[in-house]
Amino acid sequence: MPVHPIEQRYGSQKMREIFELETRYQRMLDVEAALARALSKVGIIPKNSATKIATKASTKYVKVARIFKLEQDVQHETMAVVLALAETSGDAGRYVHFGATSNDILDTATTLQIRDAITIIERDVRKLLGITLKRAAKYKNTIMVGRTHGQHAVPTTLGLKFAIWACELARHIERLEQLKPRILVGKMSGAVGTGAAWGGKGPQIQELAMKDLKLSSALASNQILQRDRFAELVSFLGLLASTIDKIANEVRNLQRTEIGEVEEPFGARQVGSSTMPQKRNPIRCEKICGLARILRANVQAALENITIEHERDLTNSSCERVLLPECFLLTDEILRTARNVLEGLVVRPERMERNLQLTRGLNMAEAVMIELTKRGMNRQVAHSVLRNCSMTAIRKNLSLKEALFQEPRVKKYLSEKDIDALTNPKRYLGSAVATVERVVRELKPIQRK
């Protein structure tokens, strides 16, 4: 039975397949095949031997069960793969892994897995960006309470919230494009990075093997690829997860019974509580927030892996066996869940309208202050006047308009008609709609790329 939830609960099947053990062994075999072809091109091994090795470098011939058995004997995973491939390659087996070190194979194979995984991540981030842009355009005029410190502030629109989220997702796409050249890198440099076993042909062999695998070559390495690369990748995943955490947390808060302005989708037969039948809990958003905590915690482990003794030690290895599959599968789950939430999001404009009226106009105090200043009152005086009127309204349970009507300094500048207009939330949205339209216009090309 599965132990870790990513084995059956979190992550798509496509993402899981990338990190399954058979896939990992196939990637290691792909690297061994590329090495053999490179060695033949520089004249170190016969071409027919390289062809035989490359042909047999497949889990169709190199069975996982055989690798397991060999590993039990030799207590070395890469050597078990090498021996299993050599067994299937006949006389050509004598050249398998010639001059290479374990991490020439392991690190380059890991990079191949990462390339496949970030292809899925990038696709899903672009899809999520597309959803946020559609929602931004749809709700650009949907007015709602803005909140700062958990308190009612001036009005905003739901569309502007989505536009802000879209901008953040677009920055993550930009970050991913920028880090690809630093991440999609392989190595073939031998025991401590000198390539001594290949004489002066090491750099050429590396270039040929990496070109074969469609990866860039490390400019310099010791026995391993330097782990700042993987740390940057995991940090990116932590950033991405944190953005989606922020979105999910906002949905959770807006779904509170007292607010009720949006709601994540709720299935026809879905149960919210085993004892309270009325519950409609935001479980999808809560899952996102919980998994994001793991992603952020994993960043620390990735940073720790940068510190390796001398030309290498093994402290990063066991960590990364857990770290990389977990990070990608949990990010995959977060992205898929976020899409489900935002695609099916229930929006309740009537609750937004109700909540706008809860403070009886107090959230429009800034608008009145600004207009008083425009009409000649000192701005600092206007702020003091509106503060006093607001405190009076709260103390006496009045609307802001009622409190303003009682203030001679306000009546000197503003009529009742003016005050009615100034306390109308729909007239105080500034450039919110224009901002949303600009965001949608500028980010659509990024989403479609």
Residue from 219, 197, 268 nearest 35 by CA: 197
Residue 77 buriedness (CB in 10 A; 0-12 / 13-18 / 19+): buried
Two tokens at 49? 């031997």
Q: Tokens 């890469």 label which residue?
A: 78
C-alpha pair distances (Å), 319 with each of 154, 169, 306, 322: 48, 29, 12, 6
Two tokens at 274? 């085993």
Active site residue 76: no
Cα separation, 228 vs 236, whole angstroms: 12
Which residue intervals of 139-189 are DSSP H helices?
158-183
CA 259, 264, 269, 272 dihedral sign is negative
Say if CB 205 and CB 195 are below 8 A apart. Answer: yes
CA 230, 232, 234, 236 dihedral sign is negative
Residues in Cβ contact with 257 at an 8 Å cutoff, skipping those fewer than 6 apart: none
Amino acid, single-letter form, for residue 443: L
Say if CB 165 and CB 132 are below 8 A apart. Answer: yes
Say if CB 362 and CB 152 are below 8 A apart. Answer: yes
In Å, the largest CA–CA distance within the chain is 102
Cα separation, 216 vs 256, whole angstroms: 50
DSSP string spanning 242-253? HHHHHHHHHHHH
Cα separation, 50 vs 439, whole angstroms: 54
4, 76, 273, 384: the active-site residue: 273
149, 310, 318, 415: the active-site residue: 149
Active site residue 273: yes
Say if CB 341 and CB 134 are below 8 A apart. Answer: no
Cα separation, 141 vs 157, whole angstroms: 6
Which residues are identified as catalytic? 149, 273
